A and B are shown apart, each in its own frame.
Chain A
Amino acid sequence: MSLILRDATYRYAGVGHPALTDISLEIVPGSVLAVVGANEAGKSTLCLLAAGLAPTTIGGELRGTVEIDGLATIGARPPELAQRCGILFQNAETQLSGTAATVWEEVAFGPRNLSLPLDEVVERTEAALSALGVEELAPRDPGRLSGGQAQLVALAAVLAMRPAYLVLDEPTSQLDPQGTQLVGSALQRLTQESGAGLLVVEHKTDLLASIAEECVVLADGKIVARGSAGDVLADPRLDEWGVEPPSTARIERAARSAGVQEPMLSALATRP
């Protein structure tokens, strides 16, 4: 079972050229796939496609296939897709329902929509809050949280749906360093504890280097590089593709340029 995109080409409604061309990816449960690329490379579109929101909810035309655990996203009902693949967007504010008086109710919003028994709603909500270590936020007003806290609550709300896969579209882009650290730590715990397969789009390649096993680079809607995260994020062509390499790669390059010898470079690479 996996989330598969096979030769997927997607065009937004009313737009002549495709936003994504011949995309083939596979995300298996328990793995983390990172996606990097310059602005307008198609990363957010890829997230919408992988989660089934495109074309089901936002329209447009898809050629090729997108399947989540064998269910083709074309023709599937949004509630079915929501239980298989969750998605977290950049802006935490627009992901919160705006109707919940407390964080607890916000996280319970999704399970309630599924008409689950009250026992199960309570269990899922508390498990999601616990998985991200935000139980103390439960009685708080969701409208009065910091950016990092709101993003964690939005993530908990998605986790409460118990999806097998999670798509995260620049989850730390609007966060300060502290918020980024909060969410980054949560993502690391998530992969270990929930077994969900993650597709993470980020500009912060340091974060990706610490959590992802595989990585692809998108440029102009196409995959231009793929491989292990370590290899891809060390590729010297990243600058050409509009991607800032992780700090370790930048330091290594600077050291080489300054004439630092190999044994010293290896020591730098292995320093914690």
Chain B
Amino acid sequence: MQPSDARRTPPDFVQPIPTGPYRGLNPTTKLVIAVAEALVAFTVRGWTGPLAVLLVLATTAVAARLGRRLVPFVIATVPLTASILLVNTFLFPGATDVILRIGPFTPTWSGLEAALQATLRVMAFAMSVAVLVLTTRPDELVADLERRGAPRGVTFVIGATVRTIPRVVQRAGEITDAQRARGLDTQGRLWRRVRGVLPLAAPLIFGSLNEVEELTMALEARAFSAAGRRTTLRVFPDGTGQRQLRWAAALLTAALIVLSIAGRLAFLP
């Protein structure tokens, strides 16, 4: 219990301030850095862009002790990176530097180089997202964006989406079980599974739409559309150094993008 004359603040478990290397940064700083990393990885040509970003990400991951928690994100990129490697190595347009011939298949060095570069870009993008997600709780980011004046609707959509996805997955499972209990076949050959899944779409969609209507009324009943900025519960630390870091990241990224488009970074490997 707080003394009656003390300024009242939310309990400690409400939006606790994270601590530790990198985790302790302001949520918006971490978001800006993640966006900058993803943009640099994709816009700076050659090996330099993605490798530089991966080096920065590796350093960050070590400092924040993310370790094995990054593995699921790496695994998630495998289907995409595998297809990139195959398609580019074997079907790169105009390449004549054949590595070897395997029947009708002719992998090329140019294709392989392009494939590896593309793979590194995908990995860099995935890791930038991973580092952000693993070091920043969604509600921290939403709260900080709200404090900075982000529109109420935008922050609500972000926050609700993050929390709603597991619920939609659970609901889909419930509908699947209910339909299976009525004899619907959702296993077996692909076509049978597709036919089995289609009847699930209607109750899932209409059920979700109905919930949206009820949620809209419930939100209005709690003054969601009121004017003005929502009361901030907790202010995350944000010093001059972090503000400078955000500006530096944004300006450097913008400069690299412009130079890359203008062909001024052609000297980079």
Contact = CB atoms under 8 A, between A and B. Distances in A.
Interface stretch (A1-9, A33-41, A76-84): A76-84
A104 B8 contact: no
B170 to A, nearest CB: 10
Nearest to A85: B221
Nearest to B216: A57
A48 B220 CA distance: 12
B11 interface: yes
Contacts of B65: none
Contacts of A91: 211, 214
B226 interface: yes
Interface string B1-29: 00000011111011100000000000000
A48 B216 CA distance: 13
Given A104-B13, A115-B226, A121 B221 contact: no
B87 interface: no
B228 A143 contact: no
B222 A104 contact: no
Contact of B163 (A95, A99, A116, A119): A99
Contact of B160 (A97, A112, A116): A97
B164 A105 contact: no
Nearest to A57: B220
Contacts, number: 127
Nearest to A95: B218
Nearest to B146: A112
A78 B218 contact: no
A122 B9 contact: yes
A258 interface: no
Contacts of B86: none
Contact of A139 (B11, B156, B215, B216): B11
B8 A119 contact: yes
A158 B222 contact: yes
Contacts of B228: 115
B148 interface: no
A143 B226 contact: no
Contacts of A153: none
A15 interface: no
B217 A58 contact: yes
Contacts of B232: 118
Interface of B: 7-11, 13-15, 137, 139, 142, 152, 156, 159-160, 163-164, 167, 211, 213-233
Counting from the closest, the 6 A-B pairs by CB-CB distance are: A99-B159, A110-B222, A79-B226, A115-B228, A94-B214, A79-B223
16 contacts: A79-B227, A82-B222, A82-B223, A94-B214, A98-B215, A99-B142, A100-B139, A104-B14, A105-B15, A111-B231, A114-B231, A115-B228, A115-B229, A118-B9, A139-B13, A161-B221
